[in-house]
C-alpha cells in the first residue's frame, strides 16, 4: 500500500515522535509498503492533499497536533484510513482533566485532582494533601512535571507548567507500584511494572527514553488478581473514552488498589517504548505490531464509512 507516515509536529515531544517514526518506517518498508514521510511542523498544508493520494496514514505524533484529534479530523476529511483513536476520543484522552472526568463517570478509580488555568486572580493554593504531582494538563513524556512535597514548592511548580503555555493538572501522589497496560483491539496486553532508576523521584523523561533509564518488567511480577484488575481497568478506560485500535493506560497501585493516571491514544513506538515491549511478550514482533495496527485502522475506517 501507499503509506503516509505523519510524525514530528511542534509539541515538546517532537524528538520522541521522530525517533519512533524511524522504526515505524523501517517496519512499513519491510512489510512491502511505499512510505512518504510528512512533518506537520513544516508541511501542514500538505496533509489533506497527501492523504488523498495514499491508501493509509500512520500517525506517530505526541501532544498537539496528533493526540488532540486534529490530524485525525483532517484525514477523515480526505477519506484516508489511519490507525488508532478518532478525533473525539483523541481530544478527550489528551486532556487529563477531561479524562479523569470520564473515569469518574464510569466508576474508574483515579487520584484526587484539581485543575489550575493560570488566569488572573486565581488562588494558588491547594486543598489536597501533600505530596502532589503538578503536570501539564495536555502534555506527555512527563515533561514539565514536578513532585511537590510542601506548600512552598507549589507555586513554582505551577509556574513551570504555565511557562509552557499549559494549564496545570494537580493530583495527589499515590504511594505504591507504577504499572502500565496496553490494549490492542479489545484485548489487554500483559501488565508492565516500572521501576525508576535509583535517585529518580518518578518516571520522568530520562527514565522513559534514556538507554539506562527505568527498569521495565513485563509481565509485571505482581499478584495475578492485581494484574487482572489493571487489565480490566485499562480495557474499561479504552472503551469509556471511545478509543479504537489501541491505547495504553498508566496506573499507580497502592494499598487501596490500582488507580488510573492517564490513557494514551498514540503510545510511544521508540525502541524503548512500552507498547512494543508488551506486544513482544505475546509473540508480536515490531513489524507484526505495525501490521496489526494497520489492519485495525482499515477495519475502523470501513466501519466508519460503511465501505
Q: Find the DSSP H helices in the chain.
A: 14-30, 40-43, 47-51, 70-77, 87-94, 96-105, 154-162, 205-209, 224-240, 274-281, 286-305
Does residue 198 surpass a pLDDT of 80? no
Q: Name the segment(s) of the chain with CATH classification 3.30.1490.20.
A: 113-172
Rounded-to-integer distance, Cα 251 and Cα 120, Å? 33
**pLDDT score, position 272:** 82
The 8-class DSSP code of residue 202 comes to: S
How does pLDDT run across 169-180, given as a tens digit for each residue? 999 999 999 999
How does pLDDT run across 94-145, given as a tens digit for each residue? 999 999 999 999 999 999 999 999 998 888 889 999 999 999 998 765 678 9
Does residue 208 surpass a pLDDT of 50? no
How does pLDDT run across 227-255, given as a tens digit for each residue? 999 999 999 999 999 999 999 999 999 99
Q: Name the segment(s) of the chain with CATH classification 3.40.50.20.
A: 2-83
Rounded-to-integer distance, Cα 286 and Cα 109, Å? 32
Instruction: Name the burial class of residue 162, with classes exposed (0-12), middle (13-18) and buried (19+) by CB atoms within 10 angstroms of its CB.
Output: middle
Rounded-to-integer distance, Cα 98 and Cα 89, Å? 11
CB 200 within 8 A of CB 214: yes
* CATH code for the structural domain at 92-109+174-281: 3.30.470.20
Contacts of 42 (CB under 8 A, 6+ apart): 8
Q: Which option is the CATH number for 2-83: 1.10.730.10, 3.90.230.10, 3.40.50.150, 3.40.50.20?
A: 3.40.50.20
Residue 257 pairs in a beta bridge with: 254
* CATH code for the structural domain at 113-172: 3.30.1490.20
Q: Name the segment(s) of the chain with CATH classification 3.30.470.20.
A: 92-109+174-281
Q: How far is CA 24 from CA 4, 90, 155, 242, in A?
A: 11, 21, 41, 25
Half-sphere exposure of residue 94, counting CA atoms within 13 Å on the CB side?
Answer: 23
- pTM for the whole thing? 0.90
How does pLDDT run across 13-36, given as a tens digit for each residue? 899 999 999 999 999 999 999 999
Please state, as a whole number, how many other Cβ atoms lie within 10 Å of the Cβ of residue 107.
8
Q: Which residues are catalytic?
A: 13, 141, 209, 248, 250, 262, 264, 268
Amino acid at each position: 500500500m501507499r503509506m503516509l507516515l505523519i510524525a514530528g509536529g511542534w509539541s515538546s515531544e517532537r524528538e520522541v515522535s521522530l525517533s519512533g517514526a524511524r522504526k515505524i518506517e523501517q517496519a512499513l518498508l519491510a512489510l512491502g509498503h511505499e512510505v512518504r514521510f510528512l512533518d506537520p511542523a513544516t508541511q501542514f498544508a500538505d496533509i489533506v492533499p497527501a492523504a488523498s493520494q495514499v491508501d493509509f496514514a500512520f500517525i506517530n505524533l505526541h501532544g498537539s497536533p496528533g493526540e488532540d484529534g486534529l490530524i485525525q479530523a483532517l484525514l477523515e476529511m480526505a477519506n484516508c484510513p489511519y490507525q488508532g483513536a478518532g478525533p473525539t476520543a483523541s481530544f478527550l484522552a489528551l486532556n487529563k482533566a477531561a479524562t479523569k472526568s470520564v473515569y469518574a463517570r464510569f466508576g474508574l478509580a483515579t487520584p484526587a485532582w484539581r485543575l489550575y488555568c493560570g488566569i488572573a486572580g486565581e488562588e494558588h493554593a491547594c486543598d489536597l494533601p501533600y505530596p502532589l504531582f503538578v503536570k501539564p494538563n495536555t502534555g506527555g513524556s512527563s515533561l514539565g512535571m514536578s513532585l511537590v512535597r510542601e506548600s512552598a514548592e507549589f507555586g513554582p511548580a505551577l509556574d513551570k507548567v504555565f511557562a509552557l503555555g499549559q494549564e496545570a493538572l494537580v493530583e495527589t501522589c499515590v504511594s505504591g507500584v507504577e504499572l502500565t497496560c496496553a490494549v490492542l483491539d479489545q484485548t489487554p496486553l500483559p501488565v508492565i511494572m516500572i521501576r525508576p532508576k535509583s535517585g529518580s523521584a518518578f518516571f520522568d523523561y530520562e527514565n522513559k527514553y534514556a538507554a539506562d533509564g527505568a527498569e521495565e518488567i513485563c509481565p509485571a511480577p505482581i499478584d495475578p488478581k492485581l494484574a487482572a484488575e489493571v487489565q480490566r481497568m485499562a480495557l474499561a478506560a479504552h472503551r469509556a473514552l471511545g478509543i479504537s485500535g489501541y491505547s495504553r493506560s498508566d496506573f499507580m497501585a497502592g494499598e487501596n488498589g490500582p488507580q488510573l493516571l492517564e490513557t494514551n491514544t498514540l503510545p510511544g513506538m521508540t525502541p524503548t517504548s512500552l507498547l512494543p515491549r508488551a506486544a513482544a511478550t505475546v509473540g508480536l514482533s515490531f513489524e507484526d505490531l505495525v501490521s496489526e495496527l494497520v489492519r485495525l485502522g482499515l477495519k475502523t475506517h470501513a466501519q466508519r464509512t460503511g465501505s
